[in-house]
Every structure is written in C-alpha cells, then in structure tokens.
Structure 1
Amino acid sequence: MAAKTKRLGRGLGALISDESDDEFFGDEGAKQFREVEIHSIRPNPFQPREEYNTKLMEELKNSIAEKGVIQPITVREKDRGYELIAGERRLRAVRELGYDRIPAFIMEVETDDEMLELALIENIQREDLNPIDVARGYHRLIEELHLTQEQVAQKVGKERSTVTNFLRLLKLPPEIQESLRKAEISMGHARALLGVENAGRQLEIWEKTVQKKLSVRDVEAHVRKINQPPKRKVTISREKSPYIEAAEEKLREVLATKVKIYPQKKGGKIEIEYYSKEELERILEILQPPGNDY
C-alpha cells in the first residue's frame, strides 16, 4: 500500500532549504514545519476567497505536478487534526492531483479572531484576488475585528487611501460589483462609476461600458457629462423706454384691451389681445378709418 501512495515527489529537502527554514523559524523551526496528511486538514471557516480562476488553478496544478509545492500551506493544530489558515488553492490542487501529504507550517493560533485576521491578510495580499474580494476582506477586518481603516492599512502594508478606495467599491450596485469580480470591467472603470451618485445612472453607464467595451476615459467622460450642471437659459431683460410704455398705455385706453409693444432694432411689433370674435370686430371698428369698409 505504501508504494501506491502519491507523495510530493521531490521531498521537503529539495523544496525548502535548511538555511531558509532556520532563518524563518530559528532553533524551534523543526517543531513547526512538517509534512501533514491531507485528510487531517479541515477547511478554514473564515476563508474569505469566494471565487477561483479555473485557468490559474490548472496552471498551479501543472506547476505542483512538475516541481512540487514550493510554498508550504499554513495550518494550526485543532481537535486532533489541523485547520487551514492559508493556502486554500495549494491544498485544493494537491487534493485534485491525488497526493496524500503536503508540506505545512504549523502556527500557534489560539483565538478565532487571530485565525480570521491571518486568513484575511494572507488572501488580501495575493496578486490574483479580485478587487471586490479585497474590499470585502478589508470590510470584515473592520466590522468583525473592530479595526480602523488606519489599522487595516498598517496590517496589510498599504496606504490608508488605498484601503478607502477599495471599501468605496462596496457602495456600487451588486450587478457592477459582480462585473468587477468577473473582470468584465476594471478597477479604473469602477472608480469612475463612483463619481455618479445615482445608482440607476451608474447601471446605465456600466451596461454601455460592457456592451461597447468603453475605456476608462470614456466612462470618465460620461460621468463628467452627467455631473455637469444644466445650462441656464439667459434671458436678456430689456427695459422699455418711457415713450414705449406711454404708447402701450394709450393703446390700451383706446382699444380697451391688453396691448404690448416689442421694440426691435428696426421697428418692432404690437401685440393686441382679444377674447372673442365680437371683441375682434369691436377692435377693428376702432382701428378702421372713417368711410373705409373691411
């Protein structure tokens, strides 16, 4: 039976040098580093990663099949077995390859808060983690461990502004967050969309971005256009001269109805109001010179 067991063929000594091991762990390193049986490792209950890239997983499996596990996983001892702290992808890969053991660092982690913090930070610092999962990791550190944004930034080695920008992504509608997770849009697109406060408008621009494959600059231009205040119609107030006002008043008295005069550069126009056919005939009679029929 032992001959049929699949192991990480190159051995721990070939994968991790004694010098690097001692440098990392000191004199007690041998007690904290060993090959662990895969069936004894339980999943991390605080695992923040929600999605795995199939292509990257296949590449990892091919790499392990050829060279072994270069970077050990990290576990803690619990309930006569082990609980995974970090290394979910590596553990999945060796399981799918049929191995029965994997190199692991054994850490002393006493509380679930420590476990959560280690798991979140390890995942957040991975290059292939999508922006939304990074943002959710920061959010969990703040909400569940009661950390400030400044403390989160210090723990993950980032600027506070970087943490803030990631957290702002969680204000986007769920459809846009999912699109960012799937890499349909980039972080730049998402940040540009945050420039629009209305969620409906955000979705409109996002749909157009995905359909037409708009660049980040295109999205920024759309946002600027939406945020641009509407142009006010400029009405030029022209004060009427006393002569025009007197003429209006005289016509109103003569015609017994509303009259307005609109002077122009050359000439102008007179507006006479009437409210029935009979009133129109009355006005015409007033305007008609004596002896002329119309």
Structure 2
Amino acid sequence: MESRMRKSLGKGLEALLTAPTPAAAPSELTVAIRRHGLLQPLVVRHIAGRYELIAGERRLRAATRAGLARVPVIVREARAEDRLELALIENVQRENLTALEEAEAYRQLLDQHGLTQDELAERVGKSRPAITNTLRLLGLPDAVKAQLESGELTAGHARAVLAIEGVTEQVSFAREIVTRHLTKSETERLAAARRARQGKQPAAGRPTDVHLRGLAEEFTRGLGTRVRITRHPRGGSIEIEFYSDAELDRLIDRLRQALPRA
C-alpha cells in the first residue's frame, strides 16, 4: 500500500486525489477520534448539490470507523489548483513520506503554486530552515538518493554528505558511511574534517563575522530562501539557494526590482 502511495506522489499532484490511503494508517487516529471526537474539521466544497472532500481523507475514514454520524467541516470555494495544493499539503502533514518524497512534494508546491519557502513553511507548519534542509536533499547524487530511499542512510547522514564538494567525493563519502556504520554525529565530524581538507573551512582561530551573519539572515528573510555570505582570502561570495525553475524566476524578478533603473 505504501509503495502505491509513493508512486502516486511521483506522478504529480493530480494522483494524490485518487491515491489509496493505507488501510492500517488511521488505526491510532480512530482511537483518538472515538475518545475525543474530530477536533480538526474536514475541508469540503459545495458542487452540484453535494459536498466534495478536498482535504481530510484519513480523518474521514477514521471518523467513520469510530462510528461518528456527523463531522465538522469547513466549506471552501476552491479552484482545481487550490484543491491540488490542499491535497498535497494534507499528505505532507499526515502521511509517512520518506525524506525525498517530502522534498519532492515541497518542490512541487514551490514550482506549481509560486510559494516562497517562508509561505510554504507556514502552510505545512514547519520552520523555514527545516524546509530548506529537506529541499537540499534533492541535490544529492542519484546513488546517494538510492541509499537514502533504501534506509542505508538517514536524512541526517545525507545532509552531511551535501557538505562535501564534488559528486564523486559525495558518493564515496556516502559509501564509507554505510560501510563503517557511522552514526550521524560521527558522520558530521568526519564531514567537517573532509571540508577542512578541501579548504572550505575558515582559518583556525578566525573570528566569526557577526555583521555578515546578520546580513545573511536579513537577505534570507527578504528573499524567502537560504542565503550564505562567505569570506575568502581575496574577497568572498554570496550564495543564494533555489530548488526549482519557478523559484529561480521569482528570485531573479526580486533581484531585478532592486536594481537601479537605467
């Protein structure tokens, strides 16, 4: 059942509306609803004299199993794209997605609905850094993604792999993590050592530039995506992250608006 849900996610948002919900998934929810009632209303829309469910399939199934004859609902006028967005958010919040499935779901919301990472974080009830860290997993080499999907690596391991520069080096590092059965903390320490050897760490004893860190946080809030400012011996760099073509277009528009007109 779970594999069918994952395949539906990969086919796009439309498939989520008809994807079967795992039969065993609502069991704990059923017990809670039987004891406390349905605390969070379902979302429906009125169409042709009937009501169509937009979000809350698992809660509806669980309420039915709990023996409820009536449930609270919110009636909403929703366009097709709004229904797809609500359905995807429902799945992100409620289903047991893998880290990569969650990242892909976030990318679809950013890409197809024009949300910023801050807006997405607010809608799914997570912090923006959590959204950013999950999206970064999409940048892993395919071989490392396969290890993450199979359970050989955790999301924490995978984020440490992303700290290493170069696809070949990342694949090799991931293989070493699996072979040596490294914990997340061991992996992070080893990744820090590798980055130091790659020359990406600041010089030892160099004070943290509080001003630059503050600017990076200000730019992150203003652009709605992660921004890093790094000093180098002969200058520095500003790195702006994006995770879809739509997000890149949005960032380009924002930056162009800030440029002085000729």
Q: What TM-score bracket applies, with the shorter chain setting the length?
A: 0.5 to 0.7
Q: Which residue does 1:116 correspond to in 2?
A: 84
Q: Mark the CA change 1:155 to 1:67 in structure 2 (over 3 Å): closer, same or farther.
A: closer
Measure, in 2, the Cα distance between the counterparts of 1:177 and 1:51.
25
1:170 aligns with 2:138: yes
Per the TM alignment, residue 195 of structure 1 is displaced from its structure 2 partner at its CA by 0.9
Per the TM alignment, residue 169 of structure 1 is displaced from its structure 2 partner at its CA by 1.4
Q: Which residue does 1:148 correspond to in 2?
A: 116
Q: Mark the CA change 1:210 to 1:106 in structure 2 (over 3 Å): closer, same or farther.
A: same
RMSD: 4.2
Please, which runs of 5 or more residues in structure 2 have no aligned partner? 1-12, 200-262
Per the TM alignment, residue 147 of structure 1 is displaced from its structure 2 partner at its CA by 2.4
Which letter maps to 2:164? V
TM-superposition CA deviations, 1:115-154 (whole Å, max 9, x none)? 2333344444459655434322321221101223344345
TM-superposition CA deviations, 1:66-103 (whole Å, max 9, x none)? 665454432223355443322232234456x4969562
Measure, in 2, the Cα distance between the counterparts of 1:174 and 1:52.
28
Which letter maps to 1:119? A
Measure, in 1, the Cα distance between the counterparts of 2:37 and 2:178.
40
Quick check: 2:85–2:109 contact (8 Å CA) kept in 1?
yes
Higher relative contact order (CA 8 A, sep 6+): 2
Quick check: 2:38–2:72 contact (8 Å CA) kept in 1?
no
Measure, in 2, the Cα distance between the counterparts of 1:174 and 1:109.
41
Aligned residues: 187
Per the TM alignment, residue 207 of structure 1 is displaced from its structure 2 partner at its CA by 4.2
Picking from 189, 211, 215, the partner of 1:221 is 189
Q: Which residue does 1:135 correspond to in 2?
A: 103
Q: Mark the CA change 1:214 to 1:49 in structure 2 (over 3 Å): closer, same or farther.
A: farther
TM-superposition CA deviations, 1:170-191 (whole Å, max 9, x none)? 1124554465567654432221
Q: Which residue does 2:245 correspond to in 1?
A: none
Measure, in 1, the Cα distance between the counterparts of 2:24 and 2:180.
26
Quick check: 1:188–1:216 contact (8 Å CA) kept in 2?
yes
Query: 1:1-294 to 2 correspondence within 5 Å?
Result: 45=14, 47=16, 57-64=26-33, 69-93=38-62, 97=65, 103-126=71-94, 130-156=98-124, 158-174=126-142, 176-177=144-145, 180=148, 185-210=153-178, 212-229=180-197
Q: Mark the CA change 1:100 to 1:161 in structure 2 (over 3 Å): closer, same or farther.
A: closer
When the two structures are superposed, what TM-score results if normalisation uses the length of structure 2?
0.52
Which letter maps to 1:73? L
Q: Which residue does 1:6 correspond to in 2?
A: none
Measure, in 2, the Cα distance between the counterparts of 1:63 and 1:154.
26
When the two structures are superposed, what TM-score results if normalisation uses the length of structure 1?
0.47
Max radius of gyration: which structure?
1
Please, which runs of 5 or more residues in structure 1 have no aligned partner? 1-43, 232-294
